[in-house]
Amino acid sequence: MKAGQLNISEIFHSIQGESSFAGWPCAFIRLAGCGHGCRSCDTTYADKSGRLLEIEEIIESALAFQAPFVEITGGEPLLQPAVHSLMQQLCDLGQQVLLETGGFLSVAEVDRRVHKIIDIKPPSSGVSLQNNPDNIRLALEASPPHRSTFEFKVVVADREDYDWAKSLLLESGLMDSFTVMMGVAFGELEPRELAEWLLSDRLHARMQLQLHQYIWHPGTRGV
């Protein structure tokens, strides 16, 4: 791969489904490749190699959708170093850029203008020991306005995941200063159960459903 190129799985226009931006129209740039092997991964197809595209072509395709947000996702977008140049160029063009990352790599090098949606993987994912502690530290140490560009997301599949996430969130203090989205793994946990746990524990996490899974048939690509 040449400098200035990225391996792209797909570029598409959809509704943002999982974050505090859920519901907004959004241009998505899905980078190919991950290999992290989360058990509940819903984009395993993005693990395969995609098309090599120049950054200019990628930006042109994404901006053609004229969406209010551009999201960089994957796969794991931070595995490709040129993603930083892509994010920087989009920000320089005045775009509101979101990054969705699996949370096992550090976001330290990400352009400070990018809004970072960082996964915290619970035990059912099989990779909870690989959450990168650097990301929580970076968020807690960030000063305004950079501080407001961090957001965390946990998708739980059962009570064990929920209890694990609750302990981590309370011990880290993340819920005191940041948006923490907590959702259910589609088809694995009844949303009502999570809602009742959150209310009973008085947790200041924001409940979400994986919106795209309800709008389109689960497993549909390009949404």
179 is a contact residue toward ligand SF4 (CB under 6 A) = no
Q: What is the total count of residues that contact ligand SF4 (CB under 6 A)?
A: 10
The answer to whether the CB of 31 falls within 8 A of the CB of 51 is: no
74 is a contact residue toward ligand SF4 (CB under 6 A) = yes
Which of 102, 132, 164, 186 binds ligand SF4 (CB under 6 A)? It is: 102
Count of other CB atoms within 10 angstroms of residue 213: 19
Return the range that interacts with ligand SF4 (CB under 6 A); candidates 22-30, 36-44, 83-91, 105-113.
36-44
Return the range that interacts with ligand SF4 (CB under 6 A); candidates 22-30, 73-81, 106-114, 190-198.
73-81
Cβ 34 to ligand SF4 shortest distance, Å = 3
Cβ 104 to ligand SF4 shortest distance, Å = 7
Backbone phi, then psi, for 19, in 5-degree steps? Answer: 175, -175
50 is a contact residue toward ligand SF4 (CB under 6 A) = no
Greatest Cα pair distance, the chain, in angstroms, is 53
E strands in 127-222: 150-156, 179-184, 206-208
Distance of CA 137 to the CA centre of its chain: 18
